[in-house]
């Protein structure tokens, strides 16, 4: 194992990340790091290489100033490591960066399975603790796209196949969207947020996020329309052999036409045609209970044949323990205040 290396060049980082790991998350890509840098985050990409030049540990580390001389460190969907023996090296990349930057703490949300007791023991031994604050969804569902389209349809629930065909028969059309369609999608996204109770940021934030990735061929917008009227849409992100259904929006109008079923099926078909082998549905309930807030979303995704993938969730590495305790006390109160305010802004061109 070679000493850690800093990767400043975007192309070099993406090439070695995609060559070293089977399904590296798009939140560890150079495009995502650059997007977050435009939102005020500082970027620090580090990796430890094997003798053959591939990465055995890697982390795209984001940091942000919380106060003069004090910062927060976050590694979205990372760090990455090849084998259990490489986990300490991956954690050391983050720990060293947090200490050097005078961070209150570092947060990671690598997908660690709850049954992976060895990984959890390593984290705790090194001073990490399970976090009370999640940034990303803890759990997800995934769909293997290597089977044929016929096999994928056969693996769905019968009602799902019926709804896909119903939407097409009733005249719902799914088309690929462009940058010019983003205001339409955002309007539906605002409506969805108001209906489902999640916070929607101002349009300029999403215009940057969605537009940057679409312009780089790392995201694709799909719109479901009926008689020229937009009924729903999704944005699919892609990095290497993986696609992520990260954003979805729908209207109340014509819900009986089942546009969301056809939307997902056409997105799956498109992803498969692009060479994607894993479709990540990006989000599932913390517990599989019918009373859980996201259980209906889970049932929708699971009906397409997706498999539930649990995770322990985020872990924190306190560097300044007194400030960390203060932060973890105040942050839930701040987030609750934001949820109560729940204000959005309309798109402006």
pTM greater than 0.75: yes
What is the CB neighbour count within 10 angstroms for residue 325? 12
Q: Residue 73: its pLDDT value, please?
A: 97
Q: Residue 50: its pLDDT value, please?
A: 92
Q: Three-state DSSP class for 49? A: strand
pLDDT digits (tens, 9 = 90+) for 147-167: 999 999 999 999 999 999 999
Residue 285: partners with Cβ closer than 8 Å, 6 or more residues away: 139, 292, 293, 294, 295, 297, 298
Assess whether pLDDT exceeds 70 at residue 123. yes
Cis amide bond preceding 106, omega within 30: no
Assess whether pLDDT exceeds 80 at residue 122. yes
Q: Residue 349: its pLDDT value, please?
A: 31
Do the domains 5-137+311-341 and 140-309 sit in the same CATH topology, yes or no? yes
- Superfamily in which the 140-309 domain is placed by CATH: Gcn5-related N-acetyltransferase (GNAT) (3.40.630.30)
Q: For the packed helices 30-38 and 203-215, what is the interaxial angle rounded to 10 degrees? A: 150
- Mean pLDDT of the chain, nearest integer: 93
| Domain edges within the chain | 5-137+311-341, 140-309
Q: Residue 345: its pLDDT value, please?
A: 43
Q: Residue 303: its pLDDT value, please?
A: 98
Q: Domain 5-137+311-341: give its CATH code.
A: 3.40.630.30
Assess whether pLDDT exceeds 60 at residue 346. no
Please state, in angstroms and as integers, the Cα–Cα distance from residue 73 to each residue in 93, 232, 310, 333, following that order.
Answer: 12, 36, 24, 20
Q: Residue 72: its pLDDT value, please?
A: 93
- The alpha carbon of 125 is separated from its chain's Cα centroid by a whole number of angstroms, namely 28
**Cβ atoms 131, 75 nearer than 8 A:** no
């Amino acid at each position: 194992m070679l000493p850690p290396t800093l990767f400043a060049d975007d192309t070099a980082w993406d090439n070695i990340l995609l060559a070293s790991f089977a399904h590296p998350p798009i939140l560890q890509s150079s495009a995502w790091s650059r997007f977050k840098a435009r939102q005020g985050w500082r970027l620090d990409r580090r990796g430890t290489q094997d003798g053959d030049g591939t990465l055995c540990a890697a982390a795209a580390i984001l940091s942000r100033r919380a106060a003069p001389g004090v910062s927060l460190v976050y590694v979205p969907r990372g760090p990455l490591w090849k084998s259990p023996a490489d986990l300490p090296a991956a954690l050391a990349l983050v720990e060293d960066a947090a200490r050097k930057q005078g961070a209150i703490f570092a947060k990671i949300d690598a997908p660690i399975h709850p049954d992976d007791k060895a990984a959890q023991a390593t984290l705790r031994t090194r001073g990490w603790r399970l976090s009370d604050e999640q940034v990303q969804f803890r759990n997800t569902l995934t769909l293997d796209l290597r089977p044929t389209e016929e096999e994928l349809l056969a693996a769905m629930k019968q009602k799902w196949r019926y709804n896909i065909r119903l939407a097409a028969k009733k005249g719902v059309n799914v088309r690929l969207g462009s940058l010019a369609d983003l205001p339409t999608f955002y309007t539906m996204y605002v409506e969805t947020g108001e209906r489902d109770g999640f916070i929607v940021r101002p349009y300029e934030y999403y215009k940057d996020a969605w537009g940057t990735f679409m312009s780089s061929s790392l995201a694709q917008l799909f719109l479901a329309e009926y008689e020229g009227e937009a009924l729903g849409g999704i944005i699919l992100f892609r990095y290497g052999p993986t696609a992520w259904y990260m954003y979805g929006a729908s209207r109340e109008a014509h819900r009986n036409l089942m546009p969301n079923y056809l939307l997902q099926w056409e997105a799956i078909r498109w992803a498969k045609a692009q060479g994607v082998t894993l479709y990540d549905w990006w989000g599932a309930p913390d517990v599989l209970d019918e009373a859980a807030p996201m259980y209906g979303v889970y049932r929708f995704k699971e009906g397409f044949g997706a498999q539930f993938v649990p995770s322990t969730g985020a872990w924190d590495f306190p560097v300044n323990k007194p400030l960390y305790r203060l932060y973890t006390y105040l942050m839930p109160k701040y987030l609750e205040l934001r949820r109560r305010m729940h204000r959005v802004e309309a798109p402006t061109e």
